[in-house]
Structures are given as C-alpha cells and as structure tokens.
Structure 1
Amino acid sequence: MNHSRQDIPGPGDICQPEARRVGVYDAHAIEDPSVDHDLQVVYRWLRSLPITDLLSAAVDDAVKYVLDGPRTWRFDLMSPEVDSDERASVGTKLQYHVINRLGLIKEPPLDTSILGIAVEIKGTVGRTWMIPREGQCEVTLLFRINARRHTFEVWLMRTHRAWLTGGNGNRDLKRSPIAGAVRRYALIVVPETPLPPEPLRQLTPEHLDVVFGPAGLRRRLVALFEALPEVVIPRGSIAVVGAGLGDPMKRAREAKSDLRRRGLIVLVGTWPVERRLAAELGFDISGEAWVAVREESFAFYGLKVPSPR
C-alpha cells in the first residue's frame, strides 16, 4: 500500500499497538520526535559517542561473521555463493555485535537498554525492516546495509503501530515501517557511510582466478600483493585467501622475499617501526594490516627501505 504524506498519522493522532504476549498496551497520542523524551535521551547518548566508527565496526563484524571468510573464501555478501537466507541473517546477528561495540548488555524486554530505556535493534540487507509486535511503539535502532555499494546507514525511530504497514503482517506477525514515516519521523544516526574497505573486492576477475586458484598459497599471496600494490590489506583478508589452510600468515611472511625481488616492499602493522614508516608513506596499517609499497616510493619520500624481517 502506498501512503501519501497526508494519510500518515502525525503528532497528536492516536496510536493503538496490537496485543503482545504480555498483554494489550494502551492507546496513546503520537509525539513529535523532537519532544519524545525517551527517544531524545537515547539519541543524545548515541551521538555523544564516536558512533559512526562504532557502528561501522559492528556492521562489519556481523557481515564477516556470516561470510565466515577464513573457512569459505567468501568476502562479498553479493557473491552467488551466499544464499538469500544467509544474507538475511546479517540483520539477526547484527544486534549482538551492536550491543558488544556499544558496551551494552542483552536484556529484556527488547534487545538492550540505554540509560534505562528499552531499545530494539533491527537490521536489513533489503529495503525495509520487520518489526515484531513487542517492538511496536518502542525506541528502535534501524540499520540498512547496502551490500552492492558496501555501505550502511542507521536511524533511530519510535516504531509506532500507526507508522507500520497494515494488513495481517507476515506469518510471524511482524510489520514494516512505512517509508514515508521513516523519511519524516526517523532521526538519522549515521548517514550512508562506506563500510571498512575489503580490498579483495577490488580484484578483477582475472586476478581472482589466480588469487583463489589452484596454486600454492605463497604464490597466490604474491599475486594478491602484485595485483593491489600500495593498497592496505587487512590481516583478515589474507586469512580469507588462505581459507582452510593452517597458518596462512606464515605463507604471507614467506611471500615477502618474493615480492621484494619484484620491487615491492611489504610493511606489516605488527611492527611499530613499520607502522610509523607506513604512516610517513601515507598508509594506515594499524590492526596488523599489510601493505606492499613500490620501492621507488621510499626514494620519492626520502625514506630508507627497511631491512628484510
């Protein structure tokens, strides 16, 4: 059903949530989000944090948990090897990662609470969210992940029953927020923002055939760094390339000498000296990330090539 701006209930209109397992909640007047006390308390708390970084990490955690790359070679939610049920499960896993990253705890009656206010957490890799009866008229964090664009965005909204779709809901008695109500009444927590980069997504089909091909891991890792010179490669991406093999980092360390002979100097974030050197060259390899730098780049910046480790 399409809802025009005029027929979406607004502040002052009466909202009647549906019966829940714990009983029937009273009808109540819809408040404008700007004067909704609990909504504003939660919103201010979220905005007091480095919220974009925290929620970006939470979404990335949930996506990587579902992909399980170090065992499956998968690094892209849109891969044909990821079925629709797995893709949908990202939203389910997300609540636990959000709670962890925000330093909260899982507790009833909803998913968590912030400053004593119950909060529901809903994520989707699709167009909309499914709100259970227990979540009607409650303060809700809404995450939308765009797997094709590798981005995410987050809103905070009181999901009034009056702002949810009509009809009988789905078989689990869940309903979706009306798009016009989200646009009009949801508070933006994080605008559309890129997720942490996954450099394996930059590989061409030709490079993918080699990096994930039948050759030994050492040769495949050499091919990876040659395909992506001066691109920061997280440790987790190396683990994906070495999926199913014991100690892929050992093979990565062995590949460094092969790359050096090809004019690529590998810097590893494990070592403080190399982290500082990478920073001088314009690369952030914190978190034990790796980067293969062209030898001539050191000369350009007047830096000494480090001795092999």
Structure 2
Amino acid sequence: MRKTAVLAGGICAPDERPGHAARAHVTEDACDDLELQKVSAWLISRPLSMHFTRAVDDAVRHVLDGARTGRFDLLSPEVDSDERASVGTKLQYRVLNELGLYKEPPLDTRILHVPVELKATIRSNWMIPTEGQCQISILIQVDTAMRRHRAFLMRTHRAWLNEGANKDGKRGIAAEALRRFSIPLVAWTPLPAEPLARLTPEQLAVVFAPRVGQTARLTALFGFLPDTVIPRSSIETVCFGNRDPLRRARQAKDAVRSTSGLEVLVGTWVQDRIRAEKLGFDLKDGAWVATRATGIVASIESTPLHPGIW
C-alpha cells in the first residue's frame, strides 16, 4: 500500500522489533535534521560520483565474474535474479572501502559518530529493514538497463515508508517522501562502458566461438572494435576459463596487425601508454586499444622541425 500523504512535523514510531523499544518522535524536514546535515556535509565534500562509480562497477563485475563465466551483461538470461539482487550486498562493502569507512554497529557504518545505513537497489525502490527505520541512509540506485547510477541521503522515517511490507518486514520508501525529504548526492551518472556490449550477435558468436583458441578470439575482438579502449576485464571475459589471457592478448598483436592493419597498444607498457595518450586514448588500469592512428603519430614525431621553429 502506497502513502497518500507525506508530511514533516508529524509523530512517527518505528515498527516493533525484539529487544528494541519503539520510541515515538517528531519527523523533521531534511534542512532541520542536524545529524542528517552533518553527514551530508561530510559526504558532499568528497568526489562521490567517482567513488560510487568505481564501487558500482566493481560490484557488478564481481557478480558477473566474467573471467570464469564469460558474462558481461547483468540483464543476460544467464544471470539469475538472486545474483542480480546480490549486487546491493556487494556494493555496501565497496562503498565503505571507497569512502575510507568501516563496518560499525548499530547499522552499517558511522560518519562523524552518526550511525548510517547503506542501501542499494537495482530496482525502482529501496527496501528498508526495521533496524533502518528512522535512521540515516545512503540510498544508491543502479539502473542496469541504462548502465547508470544515482544516490540520495535520507532519514527513512517509518512514517515515510509504504504500508505494505515484504515477508522480512522491509518497506519501500514513499515516492513523495523521497522527493521532498531526501538530499541528492549523485545525479544519474553513467557506468564505464562495456565494449563487449557493442558487438553484434554475429560478432559475439565469433568472439565467443567454442573450441577456438584465445589468440583467435582476441584477434577478432580487436578487429571488430578498432579505436575502442578495451579494459583488462573484457579481455579476461573473452578468454574466460583459460589461463594467462593477457599473455595471449600480447601474442595476438602480430595477428591483429596482419589481419586488420591495426596496432595494439597495451596500457601496462609505458611506451604504449604514452603513445595512446597522444592519440587521445586513456589506457589506465592496464586497458588496451587497437588503432590505425599510431603510424600518424610516429610520422609526426620523426619529421624534423623547420629551422626557426621551436
């Protein structure tokens, strides 16, 4: 059952739970909640978009486990609903790590000595447990279809939760309460691109062809995606279940040059990384790119300067 009216200044009491007294209190607007404002100030002083993007991307990749499964899409039929739901659990610890926080009772962590709950969802709402009612929560939403995320900070008063509860007693946040009483932390922000998602079904069939060697798979991958930065995780996904895929990727450099006319640059090699930067490619964290433009750079660098030019 949805809330039909959500107001500040009303009396609120959390649901009863064993060992804890349900104390009635007055709900406050976000601007009047001193603890909420203190936690908000601490959070927004940090590059949250960067921290949350890394945390979400890492949590999703951990669930997909591409290096062992060959999966790269959370919406794939090969990923069951329980696995998708586990993204939220994985994300909690990654957010703590990104923010330099620790797991501390009575909730998930403390910020400036204020207990804070961390809730993440891949759906349209967050399910707040009884222990999180009337507490301050960081709310992260992951849109798997659009590959993006956003976040809010909110004190999730019981009075601002929907009446219907699931079998675990968790309740969703009333849409009006989220709109009126939450503090936006991160607007919709894209997650890092997954190059494998750009391949057509026909190309995927070639790149993931069974009983085909890793070098052949990677040669096809680089040929299908010229001038595209390919992260290490994507290479490991293409070579899933095999040992030392990065060595195979290096071995594919000559094959890629002969079949596609592309030069493969490796982010872990300083010289390649510098050349990639001059071409506008960021090969951080050991990413790769296959490009036709390296010859242009080499030509420019080898051309002597005209006398008088400096």
TM-score (norm: length of structure 1): 0.93
Equivalent residue in structure 1 for 2:278, among 277, 280, 291: 280
Residue 202 of structure 2 is matched in structure 1 by 206
Does 2:59 correspond to 1:75?
A: no
Equivalent residue in structure 2 for 1:290, among 251, 271, 288: 288
Q: Is the 8 A contact 2:2 2:163 kept in 1?
A: no
Label 1:297 to 1:49 Cα distance change in 2 as closer, same or farther (>3 A).
Answer: farther
Equivalent residue in structure 1 for 2:183, among 182, 187, 205: 187
SS at match of 1:71: helix
Deviation at residue 259 of structure 1 after TM alignment:
1.3
Q: Equivalents in 2 of 1:109, 1:12: separation in Å?
A: 26
Q: Per-residue CA shift, 1:216-275, capped at 9, x if unaligned?
A: 110110111111101100011101111100101111000011112232111111122222
Residue 247 of structure 1 is matched in structure 2 by 244
Letter in 2 for 1:223: A
Residue 39 of structure 2 is matched in structure 1 by 42
> What does residue range 97-246 of structure 1 map to in structure 2 within 5 Å?
97-167=94-164, 169-214=165-210, 215-246=212-243
Q: Equivalents in 1 of 2:20, 2:294: separation in Å?
A: 71
Q: Per-residue CA shift, 1:72-112, capped at 9, x if unaligned?
A: 00111000100111111111211111111111111111111
Deviation at residue 298 of structure 1 after TM alignment:
2.5
Residue 33 of structure 1 is matched in structure 2 by 30
- Gaps spanning 5+ residues in structure 1: where? 305-309
SS at match of 1:119: strand
- Gaps spanning 5+ residues in structure 2: where? 303-310
Q: Is the 8 A contact 2:264 2:291 kept in 1?
A: yes
SS at match of 1:245: coil
Q: Equivalents in 1 of 2:294, 2:48: separation in Å?
A: 39
Q: Equivalents in 2 of 1:213, 1:111: separation in Å?
A: 44
Moved over 2 A (4+): 1-4, 295-304
Q: Equivalents in 1 of 2:299, 2:199: separation in Å?
A: 28
Q: Is the 8 A contact 2:3 2:162 kept in 1?
A: no
Deviation at residue 22 of structure 1 after TM alignment:
3.4
Q: Is the 8 A contact 2:119 2:138 kept in 1?
A: yes
Label 1:250 to 1:23 Cα distance change in 2 as closer, same or farther (>3 A).
Answer: same
Label 1:247 to 1:12 Cα distance change in 2 as closer, same or farther (>3 A).
Answer: same
Q: Equivalents in 2 of 1:298, 1:268: separation in Å?
A: 18
Identity %: 52
Letter in 2 for 1:134: E
Does 2:48 correspond to 1:51?
A: yes
Q: Is the 8 A contact 1:281 1:301 kept in 2?
A: no
Residue 269 of structure 1 is matched in structure 2 by 267
Q: Equivalents in 1 of 2:295, 2:187: separation in Å?
A: 36
Equivalent residue in structure 2 for 1:14, among 11, 16, 27: 11
SS at match of 2:226: coil
Q: Per-residue CA shift, 1:54-86, capped at 9, x if unaligned?
A: 111111111111111110001110001001111
Label 1:112 to 1:259 Cα distance change in 2 as closer, same or farther (>3 A).
Answer: same
Q: Is the 8 A contact 2:207 2:220 kept in 1?
A: yes
Deviates more, 1:10-19 or 1:71-80: 10-19
Q: Equivalents in 2 of 1:91, 1:79: separation in Å?
A: 18
Q: How well do the aligned residues superpose, as a CA RMSD in angstroms?
A: 1.5
Q: Equivalents in 2 of 1:93, 1:82: separation in Å?
A: 16
Residue 84 of structure 1 is matched in structure 2 by 81
TM-score (norm: length of structure 2): 0.93
SS at match of 2:20: coil
Q: Is the 8 A contact 2:267 2:284 kept in 1?
A: yes
SS at match of 1:19: coil
